[in-house]
Amino acid sequence: MACPPWPKGSRLVHLDLKGAPPRPEHLHALIELFCQLGADGLLVEYEDMFPYEGELRLLQAAAHPAYSRDEVLSMLEFARSKGMEVIPLVQTFGHMEFVLKHQSLWHLREEPHCLGTLNPHKEEGVKLVMEMLKQVVELHPGLSTLHIGADEVYMLGEGEESKLWLASPGRTVEQLFLAHVTKVVKAIKEAWPTMSVIMWDDMMRGMSLDTLRASGLVELVQPMLWDYNPDLDVGQTVSLLERYCSAGMSDLWAASSFKGSTTVYTCVTTTQRHVENHAQWLKVAASLSAGVNLKGIAITGWQRYDHMSVLCELMPVGLPSLAACLQTLIHGQFSAEAQGKVKERLGMSSVEVEDLERTCVVDSSFPGAKLAKLIVELNSLLNSNDLRFFESDMFVRGWLSPYQRQRKMMNPLITKQIHSQASSYLAAIQQKADAVREEMVRLYPESTAQEWMEEHVSPVVVPIQKIREDIQDGLKMMVP
């Protein structure tokens, strides 16, 4: 069933740079494509890729260089030339792992084991956050909107200072959360009076209208409600948005997802899953009362679940999904016309990136198409039953068990066959992995290629290599 197209408001594509940061020229090519696909803005989460200076220099990535000031300005100028607004996202409470992992800043954690949450009682923490924001705002000339994060503030209330604070009658963790966010937002408004401030909504979902109204936040922020599920509950989402509006926060945002929200280690994106998420969001938008001012939607593409977790799907593998999601919003459904537009623009015969394996990459015309095809092929090989269950193969289990390997008791005739099979698997993987690495380093830093290989290829290769080595060792004892 078709809904009306996405109502007025922005269609932002989320650029998550806390993993696999694209090289500048690839970044420009991506922005060009986003624009052609129907996006009109970017939500940029720089994290450790921002060129922080002075005492904050330690926040810059160590595995590869952060973007330079010129590279950031060039990206902003390029986006602007395409008519796209850029909204930076700077975490100010939760998900501050990239800040609080540094030993000199450990004392600013809410709780020693929780890298992500800032202690809301230390003035130094607010100063740190404001300095981060100041440097980001200064490098974004004419900036009108900031996103301050504030999602998933884990372990809040568990620190010693928070426990003391909460011991006073009538104080709650909800108030503790709201007090810190209000302090940060008021400081932002003091520094930049006309700045609009967006924040994630999840920490406020269970709060009563009275609690929200009493916080002083009501006039100051625009909540962004995120839900990435293909079976998003429309009724519940509508009533939550209406509740924020009743509390006095009528300027609201939605956040959907085109990649990076399936599992923490997903390697290849499934378009259908994300299209369904957008179809549900269209139903939400169509059901809202006139009082809700939906400012737009951020289509998130997470690169990691958090700073310390593994890489999710790389951007090229997620682009067919992004194209499909944007066309779904524009057409009100993923109609034949919408599908046709996606296939035509990306040069694909299908909207699923997995089908690239069966098509000629020359026809595919989107940034990183060759890398996407190579990743799909390698992923398919690594997940084939022959490779995944090699150690469970009858011959390996029967003639090369851990007991036999340890004692070097081997039947040379059969183990030579196993060795030959293992060698041919390793050669096939090596050939495809080399092609993936060669293409990946054209678009991403060397460290990204290294991490991707160790995450996806090594777990399959290492056990097979070990089998081969054990056979070689064993045969020395068994064959003259």
Q: Cite the active site residues.
A: 152
Q: Is residue 67 exposed (0-12), middle (13-18) or buried (19+ Cβ within 10 Å)? A: buried
In degrees, rounded to 5, the angle at the alpha carbon of residue 363 between the alpha carbons of residues 362 and 366 is 90
Residue type, position 146, single letter: L
Q: Which of 59, 25, 21 is nearest to 446 (CA)?
A: 21
Helix/strand/coil percent split, the chain, to 5: 55, 10, 35
Q: Is residue 25 exposed (0-12), middle (13-18) or buried (19+ Cβ within 10 Å)? A: exposed
- Give strand pairing partners of 361: none
Q: Are 253 and 200 in contact (CB under 8 A)?
A: no
3-state SS assignment for residue 332: coil
Residues with Cβ within 8 Å of 336's Cβ and at least 6 positions away in sequence, in order, are none
At residue 11, φ and ψ (nearest 5 deg) are -115, 100
Q: Which of 3, 84, 89, 109 is nearest to 49 (CA)?
A: 89
Its sign, for the CA torsion 114, 117, 120, 124, is positive
55 DSSP assignment? G
Neighbours of 107 (CB within 10 A): 12
**CA atoms of 328 and 318, how far apart (whole Å):** 15
**CA atoms of 368 and 33, how far apart (whole Å):** 11
User: How many CA within 13 A on the CB side of residue 38?
Assistant: 20
Q: Are 59 and 129 in contact (CB under 8 A)?
A: no
3-state SS assignment for residue 442: helix
Residues with Cβ within 8 Å of 235's Cβ and at least 6 positions away in sequence, in order, are none
